[in-house]
Structures are given as structure tokens and as C-alpha cells.
Chain A
Amino acid sequence: MTWFLRNFDQVAVALGQHVIIALMALVIAFAIALPVGIIAARRARVYAFAITVAGFLYTIPTLAFLALLIPLVGLGRTNAIVAMVAFSLVVLIRNVATGIRGVAPDVVDAARGMGMSARQVLLRIELPLASPVIVAGLRVAAVTVISVTVVAAYVNAGGLGTLIFNGIAGDHAPKIWSGALTACALAVAVDGALALVEHHLARSSAG
């Protein structure tokens, strides 16, 4: 505890790096998963293909994935972000597609009957109604990405894992505790915050 307080600046820097890497990966993954999920919601074959490929990527063990990327992109942040994007695609695509599919057909028909274009139906009806399920996917993806970032310190991406690895290498327990507990706290806090967003959206789209 004293180490944690005395070196708070060091922990804060690592935490900041951790959040930035995780956030970048999440934004890129979502930018890919959203259009793919929207198309997959309407075409069963695209869905099956996207989920199979993304599910395959998700099954690869984290450290193995980071290692396999070394010959391709080397060490560092790019490596970590590519791996994290690959890991979060499956849950994001699945939730975007199932969220849109879960919108009652009557509602879509009514919107179309009111003269809305396909684009308007998507933006004003389907995506808002699917938002609780999409956020649920983001929640799982965020936790995954935070977890992968811890390991990514081993390929020099920075973040809280750096404290853990330095602690293990130097046999310095307080450093390990500080890195590991801060990472756990970050994951639990982000999960809790997105759970609140999810419930709020679920309530407002149901009412």
C-alpha cells in the first residue's frame, strides 16, 4: 500500500496508457463490427461466415496471438491493438446483428408505412431499439480488451501489465499488487459503468 501511494504517479501513467490502448482498440473494433453486424443481421450467410471467422480469432490464446503477430507487425502498440480488435469482433458483431434482428417486425413495418427510407429505419428505429444489446456487447468487449492489454505489456505496449512484469522480474510484490489490483479495479469499474448504460437504454427503449 505504501509503495502504491508513494509511486502513485507511476501507476497513474500506466493506467492512462492502459485506458488509451484499450479505448483505441475498442473504437476500431466497433467501427468494423457495426457495418458487418448490420449486414449480417439481414443475411444469414454473412452472419454465419463473420461469426465463424471472428469466433476462430477469439479462440486463439491471447499470448499466442500476440506472439504470432510479432513476425508480421513486430513489437509494440500496433501488435497489441491488432490482437485486441481481433478478440472483440465476435461479441460485437453477434450483438449488433442479434440486436437488430430482435426489433419487432411490426415496428419496422409501421416505420416503413410512414414513408421512412431504409436508411431512416436503420438510424431512427433499428439501431436505437437495438442499443441495449449493442451496449451489452461493448461491455463484454471492453472487459476483454482491458484483460488483453495487461498481457500486451509483454510485447512492449505499455499499460498496467508493465508494473506486473517489472514486479515479477524484480521479485517486488507491491509492484505486482499495484498493477494487478488496479487492472482488476479498472475492469470491474468499466463493466459496472456499461451495465448502468445498458439498463438505462433498455428502460428508455422499452418505455
Chain B
Amino acid sequence: MLEEAWQFLITHPSQFATALGVHVALSAAALAIAAGIAIPVGIVAAHRPRAAFAAINVANIGRTLPSLAVLALVMPLLGTGFLPSLFALSLLALPPILINTLVGIRGIDAEVVDAARGMGMTARGILAKIEWPLALPVIFAGLRTAAIQVISGAVLAAFIGGGGLGDFITAGIAMMAVPQLLVGAIPVTLLALGADYAFGALQRRITPRGLRVA
């Protein structure tokens, strides 16, 4: 079966390369858009208790929504294709990044911030030199969760014409062609595991030395 899958892969190289490229582009763009929105919003809201409370609650609801339901809801509104899929996946990636940005900044020991203020640091300086580096590992954990969710969600984008590796899986299931299905399922699994590993390694690297657990 694996041999047949390999045969399918080497006889359809450009089709596979396109699907892989679309999958990676869709996932990376969705993650970048979500991070570009959720991190600044999280930083601003973290210093306002009411806004933080509201943001956490909204994000918690967003986190519970089934990925396929979100993709399906976007379709009647925006149609099918790459951009509607990107929109839906960006929405799905927002909650974990937003929650972790808020938790990361609010979880910082108040005494540390007080000490910095006592030393005469401005709010801006505190954000750049204290809060950001201390919260970064937690924010990165959020990015890691979001990345896995987006790579998994991008498989479902095949249902609304978003392309990607999910196309092989849906076609394989529809025709009960197991080799074709494997050509989608195995690479996308490796992609998710690879992203998880890479984000985990990065997360350890950016953790300030004093916070590292041996």
C-alpha cells in the first residue's frame, strides 16, 4: 500500500508540490495574520482588567467552536477558494494566541513590574524589556497550539475549495483509493509533527535563561 502511495506520489510530482505549497502557504499566512492581530490586542487588553476579562471570555468561546463548522459558515458568506479558507483559518488561530498573550503578560510577578517602575522605567520600557521577554515563552506556546490547529484545519479547507493536502485525502476517500489518501494523510501528519517540534524547540530557545527548567 505504501509502495502504491509512493508510485502515486512520483507520478504526480507537480500536483503534490502544488498541494503542499498551498497547504504551507495557507497555514503560515493564517498564523501570521492571527498573530498580527492577537498579540497587539492581547498586549493592549492585558493592562485593562475589563478588556482582558472580555477578551478571555470571547476567546474561550472561539476556542470551543468546531473547525469544520467555522470553515463551513464562511462558505455561504465569502464563497469557496483560498481566501475564504484563509479567513476562516485566521479566525481559528486567534483564540489560542490571544489567550496566551493575555495570560503571559498578566502572569508576570507584580513585584518585578513594580521594581522596574521603581527604577524609573517608563511603561514602554517595561513592556519592551520586562513584560515582552517574560511573556514570550507563553505567547510562543500559544503560537504552537495555533500552528497545529491551523495545519489540521487547512486539511478541512479542501471541503471549501481551499486546496492543500486535504484534496488528496478527500479524493482518496471519495474513490476509496487508499494510496492517494495516504499521499495526503502521511505528509500532512509529518507537517504537523514537524511544526510542533520546531515550535517546541524555538520556545525553549527564547525562554530567558533564568526561567529555564533544567
Contacts and interface: CB of A to CB of B under 8 A. Distances in A.
- Asked if A and B are interacting partners, one says yes
Interface of A: 56, 59-65, 67-68, 70-71, 75, 143, 146-147, 150-151, 154-155, 161, 164-165, 167-168, 173, 176-177, 179-181, 183-184, 187-188, 191
Contacts of B188: 61, 64
B65 interface: yes
A62 B73 contact: no
A179 to B, nearest CB: 7
Contacts of A75: 173
A168 B159 contact: yes
The 10 closest A-B pairs by CB, nearest first: A61-B152, A147-B66, A173-B76, A180-B69, A64-B185, A180-B72, A67-B185, A150-B66, A187-B64, A63-B155
Given A183-B68, A183-B69, A191-B61, 9 more contacts: A61-B151, A62-B156, A63-B158, A64-B155, A64-B189, A75-B173, A177-B76, A180-B72, A184-B64
A159 to B, nearest CB: 11
B160 A168 contact: yes
A191 B72 CA distance: 21
Interface of B: 1, 60-61, 63-70, 72-73, 75-76, 148, 151-152, 155-156, 158-160, 166, 169-170, 172-173, 178, 181-182, 184-186, 188-189, 192-193, 196
Contacts of B182: 67-68
A173 B160 CA distance: 13
B173 A67 contact: yes
A67 B172 contact: yes
Contacts of B72: 164, 167-168, 176, 179-180
Contacts of B156: 62-63, 151
Contact of B75 (A56, A176, A184): A176
B77 to A, nearest CB: 9
A143 to B, nearest CB: 5
Dominant SS among interface residues on chain A:
helix
Contact of B193 (A59, A165, A179): A59
Contacts of B70: 180, 184
B160 A151 contact: no
Contact of B159 (A64, A147, A165, A181): A165
B159 A184 contact: no
Contact of A147 (B61, B67, B158): B67
Contacts of B166: 63
A203 B73 CA distance: 38
Contacts of A64: 152, 155, 169, 184-186, 188-189, 192
30 contacts: A59-B148, A59-B196, A61-B151, A61-B155, A61-B189, A61-B192, A62-B155, A62-B156, A63-B155, A63-B170, A64-B169, A64-B189, A65-B185, A67-B172, A68-B185, A68-B189, A70-B178, A143-B64, A150-B67, A151-B156, A154-B159, A164-B72, A165-B159, A168-B72, A168-B75, A176-B73, A177-B76, A180-B68, A183-B66, A183-B69
Contacts of B186: 64, 68
A147 to B, nearest CB: 4
Contacts of A180: 66, 68-70, 72-73
Contact of A164 (B68, B170, B192): B68
A70 B181 contact: yes
Contacts of B64: 143, 184, 187-188, 191
Nearest to A169: B159
Contacts of B69: 147, 150, 164, 179-181, 183-184
